[in-house]
Amino acid sequence: MPYFLPKTSHNIRQYLSTLEDRHFPDFAARHDQIMATSESHFEMLKDRVGGASKDMTNWSKSAVEGIEKGTGLKVGDVVRRGQEAAGKVRNELEAKVPEKGVKMEKVGYVVEQRPVAELVRPVAAAPAPVAEVKSAPAAPLSSSPPAAPSAAAPAAAATAAAPAPVEQKKPERRLV
């Protein structure tokens, strides 16, 4: 339900929490304790998974060394080349992420009942001056369709062509 109706589920959760605090304070205290315990267990699980990945890396290194000693194959070179290629790709992707000191400008929001992402772009230190564009005065707007040109009017219509619209550059958008 929180995925489809986030605001409604938030309001229902808040209402039930206030009822629990008002009418069942002992149960509310136990509920808060259970939530705190589950958060700490989740953090411990994340730490253990991180430790397991380090153990797996060490195990894979010792396995590669054992294969090289037992068979004489240069498996370690192949593994190192793959790791170097992955490192290069990682460095290229990290280079595309803006530095922390770069000032960002809000471009817009992605919204689903509430903002879920902010669209930003780097802001130039000193924007370049924009040249003024002169154009012919605009024709008055009317709700009636344009009249069909007469036989003598085609030459005049061809010489008084409207200026081409100026294209404006749209800002670059990305999710952060």
- The pTM assigned to this predicted structure is 0.34
Domain ranges of the chain: 6-73
80-91: per-residue pLDDT in tens? 888 889 889 888
28-73: per-residue pLDDT in tens? 999 989 989 999 999 999 888 888 888 888 888 888 888 888 888 8
- Asked if 157 contacts 149 with a C-beta cutoff of 8 angstroms, the reply is yes
1-24: per-residue pLDDT in tens? 667 788 888 899 899 989 999 999
Instruction: Compute the C-alpha angle 71/76/81, nearest 5°.
Output: 145
